[in-house]
Chains A and B, each alone.
Chain A
Amino acid sequence: MEKKEIISREKIEHLARLALIDLSEEEKVNISKQLNNILDYFQKLNELDTSNIKPTRHVIDGLKNVFREDIPGKSLTQEEALKNAREKQDGFFKAPRIIKE
């Protein structure tokens, strides 16, 4: 099969934007290459005829309806909840503002 570029540079930039990460030029080139290699490898699967095979909804086949009763359990304390937070204030987690100016 002919090798073609699946992940374009625009796509990488778009994905980086969605993931809220900044990529350097070098990283963009590297990641693009790596992702293309991975996807290329997966192209192999297209060689199989899957037209008569049911899609896998879940890796554990046949398991369904795993439920919990509606009974309250123990929650964390505020102190425990905030333990790993980098920024906090008055019992809240603190994050940057949402709307850009």
Chain B
Amino acid sequence: MSIQNNEIMIGLEIHIQLTNLKTKLFCSCSNDYRGTEPNTHVCPICIGLPGSLPVVNKKVIELAIRLALALDCKINNQFWFFRKNYFYPDLPKGFQISQYNKAGGKAFADGGKTTIRLNNHKKDIILNRIHLEEDPARLVHKGSIATSPFTLIDYNRSGVCLIEIVSEPVISSPEEAREFLKQLKSIVQYTGISNLELEGSVRVDANISIKGYDRSEVKNINSFKEVERALRHEIIRQKNILKRGKKLIQETRHWDDKRRITIPLRTKELEEDYRYFPEQDLVPIEINSDFIQKVKSELPEMPNERSVRFRKEYRLTEFDSYNLVLDKNFADFYEEGVKSDPSFDSEEYKLYCNWLMNDISRWLNNNNKIIQETKITPKHLVDLINAIKDGKITGKIAKSFIPDLMVGFNVKALIEKTGKRRISDKEYILKITKEVITDNLDIIRDFEKNPRALEALIGKCMKKTKGRLDPELTREILLELLSNKIKKYKKS
């Protein structure tokens, strides 16, 4: 039995902590709990002591409006909180204060969409709603959740404000899910509501089904990176069950990121089992449209708009601009750099983008850093590109400078320090090319049949000189030498 991608339906529920708040959703405990001792950022409200009363953090409304606008959602101008009742150790009150879009209740905002790009096609990921709720506590298990003899609870996270973003089940592959989350992460970064680089700031639940069969819900996927992996695993698991002729059941599963499998968690409680009812400790919230307009006017340019502008202003390709703007830090770095040199034009705009997206990105990935944590400045990269353009260094030398640039050296200092300059001395190049030819007669024989033989020889010359030869001159000289040689070869 083979199952196509269009038969797979994935819906995601993404919980994002609003880490840019200073306090929790319903109490004045500090939001900044990471790396602190357990149960030190708690108060009677967030550990659910009897008689304590929640009060809504005003800033939450503004941040939620920002996200709703950026995701094209329709903001409800009146809503109230609900109690979602269930027992779990991470929930001290026995209920979570959340929102509910039934029984007269409303989400914070309905609908919305974001456009993703995958393999040269565009797709709108349609959203169902976004809503606000409180984060449960952090549970700590000795070893795996399945084998731990008991559960330890740290309520520092309890009551931190979460925004839940619910997509429609329109995602048809783990790759689409990955692109959607990339886009979402970018939008969150641009709106300035949260820093999703922070550990534990994101949690994802995924509904996965094969068309015509019952779905499973996979909970506890603790990073965007894990989502793709968890989805892949769950799809294979479901396909295998069908292949063996067994039945898929509707169930809740837990993503075990240590063993990288999903395990059954508890039988799915029916929705009415949560016994939602309006939270009487909080009064309704009304948002007037003037305030929404004000927030809208303060929103920065969003990644999709910025990408369109980059294509126009810097004549980048659609692919380049889409990827460049995803990380706001990167895009800001780019604009500052290319704007700082008035001589820059299409060619340099493209080069600057390439250096950022290739060599610099690679270095950042390998060193697990973001660009703002390094010492490279936008101007340093301008200097690098100009040094290549002016013939001071070759592209190869420039590549070798990257690690030093990242720790704060400038190009001029590096050329002096390393003595690496482009060599355009014809005599010297002639000497090197001759040596390379003598050492590689087997490649020479290939030369007429195989055009890549020339590239191979240029490569060998570069290797011999650590990439310092002028590539154009080397090519010319090699071609001349080789055609002479081949003439002789044919005569004999």
Contacts and interface: CB of A to CB of B under 8 A. Distances in A.
Contact of A58 (B31, B57, B153, B283): B283
A81 B47 contact: yes
B481 interface: no
B280 A58 contact: yes
A66 B28 contact: no
B150 interface: yes
Interface stretch (B36-44, B306-314, B403-411): B36-44
Contact of B151 (A71, A75, A94): A94
B454 interface: no
A97 B153 CA distance: 11
A67 B43 contact: no
Interface residue SS majority, chain A: loop
B149 to A, nearest CB: 6
A85 to B, nearest CB: 9
Contacts of B57: 67-70
B39 A72 contact: no
Interface residues of B, number: 55
B89 A98 contact: yes
Interface string B257-290: 0000000010001000101001010111110000
B319 interface: no
A72 to B, nearest CB: 5
Contacts of B153: 92-95
Interface residues of A, number: 38
Contact of A65 (B85, B265, B273, B283): B283
A78 B58 contact: no
B42 A75 contact: yes
B247 interface: no
Contacts of B28: 68, 71-74
Contacts of B284: 57-58, 64-65
Contact of A99 (B31, B152, B265): B265
B58 A69 contact: yes
Interface of B: 21-23, 27-31, 37-44, 47, 49, 55-61, 80, 85-89, 104, 139-140, 145-146, 148-155, 265, 269, 273, 275, 278, 280, 282-286
Given A71-B22, A97-B148, 12 more contacts: A57-B80, A58-B280, A58-B284, A72-B28, A75-B30, A78-B37, A78-B39, A89-B152, A91-B39, A93-B155, A96-B89, A97-B150
